[in-house]
């Protein structure tokens, strides 16, 4: 009887532990996961300047494509502004169209 | 009279362009601008810069940046002229007045909203110097990320 109870108790303990892990997993999933925030909203940048290569560089991966916002976490408004800025910068050869 | 708009003009010349040719080019631009009753608000020479890709077999170029106020007809004429000039290998004219005013409105709106919030909490509308200093260090994520990366390098 007492053994059974202990077993159950252990089981319950594990259950609650699993529940905790699940809760943690939502936020971090074991690995360190950055909370998605729009860089332009955080830094309060109203005008995405196409002449500022340093500002645009983080959103242009090696290939030279525009990073999708599902990865960079930029909000829709700023992604639109970023898109035009990158396209302008490309026109005057500040940023490559493609790199290979 | 037609509406005055603000444009940003950037043009690129080959790296070996002599100074006087650049001056001449600037005068040409100025002449067209004045012809249409506009004015050059700002003119910057960015100097030699590496191009992100080859233009007319050049890997580098001299960038010149102008801020111009003038009517829409000026934009069209300037664009046409620059297309013809051989010493300009690439140019771009962008209308910026609307975007800048939108950005300015957003800035003012945020500032007034912040002031209203602060007044509601019984604080002065503008952040004090001490608060500003604290704001600079609020991004604790960067530190964490760096530490994490450093640890991984150490393991290898």
Q: pLDDT tens, B82-139?
A: 999 989 999 999 999 999 999 999 999 999 998 898 888 888 887 777 766 655 555 5
Report the pLDDT averaged over residues B59-86: 92
Two tokens, residue A76: 């829709």
pLDDT for position B136: 56
Q: Is residue B106 part of a domain?
A: yes
Q: Is residue B114 part of a domain?
A: yes
Mind listing the pLDDT tens digit for each residue in B18-60? 889 999 999 999 999 999 999 999 999 998 999 999 898 999 9
Chain A stretch 15-34, residues whose beta carbon is closer than 8 A to a beta carbon of chain B = 32, 34
| Residue B21 sits in the same domain as residue B87 | yes
Mean pLDDT, chain A, integer: 75
Whether residue B94 and residue A97 make contact (CB cut-off 8 A), yes or no, is: no
Checking if the pLDDT of B151 tops 70, the result is: no
CB proximity A75 to B under 8 Å: no
Checking if the pLDDT of A22 tops 50, the result is: no
Whether residue A92 and residue B63 make contact (CB cut-off 8 A), yes or no, is: yes
| Residue B91 sits in the same domain as residue B103 | no
Two tokens, residue B93: 């004219």
pLDDT for position A100: 78
| Residue B75 sits in the same domain as residue B117 | no
pLDDT for position A2: 43
Two tokens, residue B106: 């957003």
Which of A32, A34, A93 shows the shortest C-beta gap to B51?
Answer: A93
Q: Is residue B144 part of a domain?
A: no
Checking if the pLDDT of B149 tops 60, the result is: no
Nearest to A69 by CA among A55, A82, A57, A56: A82
Mind listing the pLDDT tens digit for each residue in A10-19? 444 444 444 3
Taking only Cα atoms into account, the Rg of chain B, rounded to an integer number of angstroms, comes to 24
pLDDT for position B152: 44
| Residue B51 sits in the same domain as residue B10 | yes
Q: Is residue B41 part of a domain?
A: yes
pLDDT for position A19: 39
| Residue B84 sits in the same domain as residue B17 | yes
pLDDT for position B1: 55
Q: Is residue B139 part of a domain?
A: no
pLDDT for position B135: 55
| Residue B41 sits in the same domain as residue B29 | yes
| Residue B73 sits in the same domain as residue B122 | no
Using CA atoms, how far residue B26 sits from A82, B51, B65, B85, in Å, is 30, 21, 10, 12
Chain A contacts of B104, Cβ < 8 Å?
A: 46
CB under 8 Å to A26, separation ≥6 — which residues?
none
Count Cβ atoms below 10 Å from residue A87 Cβ, excluding itself.
Answer: 13
CATH (domain of B48): 3.30.70.60
| Residue B72 sits in the same domain as residue B107 | no
Whether residue B51 and residue A91 make contact (CB cut-off 8 A), yes or no, is: no
**Residue where a domain stops, chosen among B52, B73, B95:** B95
Q: Is residue B115 part of a domain?
A: yes
Is the predicted ipTM greater than 0.85, yes or no? no
| Residue B12 sits in the same domain as residue B79 | yes
Report the pLDDT averaged over residues B140-156: 47
Q: Which domain holds residue B114?
A: 99-129
Q: Is residue B43 part of a domain?
A: yes
| Residue B10 sits in the same domain as residue B26 | yes
| Residue B34 sits in the same domain as residue B48 | yes
| Residue B112 sits in the same domain as residue B86 | no
A23 min Cα distance to partner chain B (Å): 21
**Of the candidate ranges A45-49, B34-38, B146-150, the one whose mean pLDDT is the lowest:** B146-150
Overall domain count for chain B: 2
């Amino acid at each position: 009887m007492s053994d059974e109870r202990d077993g159950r108790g252990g089981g319950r303990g594990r259950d609650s532990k699993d529940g905790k892990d699940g809760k943690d997993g939502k936020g971090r999933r074991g690995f360190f996961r950055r909370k998605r925030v729009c860089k332009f909203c955080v830094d309060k940048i109203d005008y995405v300047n196409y002449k500022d290569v340093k500002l645009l560089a983080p959103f242009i991966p090696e290939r030279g494509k525009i990073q999708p916002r599902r990865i960079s976490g930029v909000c829709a408004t700023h992604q639109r502004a970023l898109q035009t800025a990158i396209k302008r910068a490309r026109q005057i050869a500040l940023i490559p169209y493609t790199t290979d | 009279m037609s509406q005055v708009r603000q444009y940003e003009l950037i043009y690129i010349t080959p790296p070996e362009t002599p100074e006087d040719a650049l001056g001449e080019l600037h005068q040409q631009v100025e002449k067209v601008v004045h012809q249409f009753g506009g004015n050059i608000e700002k003119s910057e020479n960015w100097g030699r810069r590496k191009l992100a890709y080859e233009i007319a077999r050049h890997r580098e170029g001299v960038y010149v940046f102008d801020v111009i106020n003038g009517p829409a007809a000026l934009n069209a004429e300037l664009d046409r002229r620059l297309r013809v000039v051989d010493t300009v290998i690439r140019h771009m004219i962008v209308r910026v007045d609307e975007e800048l005013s939108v950005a300015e409105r957003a800035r003012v709106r945020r500032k007034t909203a912040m002031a209203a919030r602060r007044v509601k909490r019984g604080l002065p509308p503008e952040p004090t110097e001490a608060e500003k200093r604290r704001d600079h260090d609020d991004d604790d994520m960067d530190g964490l990320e760096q530490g994490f990366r450093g640890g991984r390098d150490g393991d290898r």
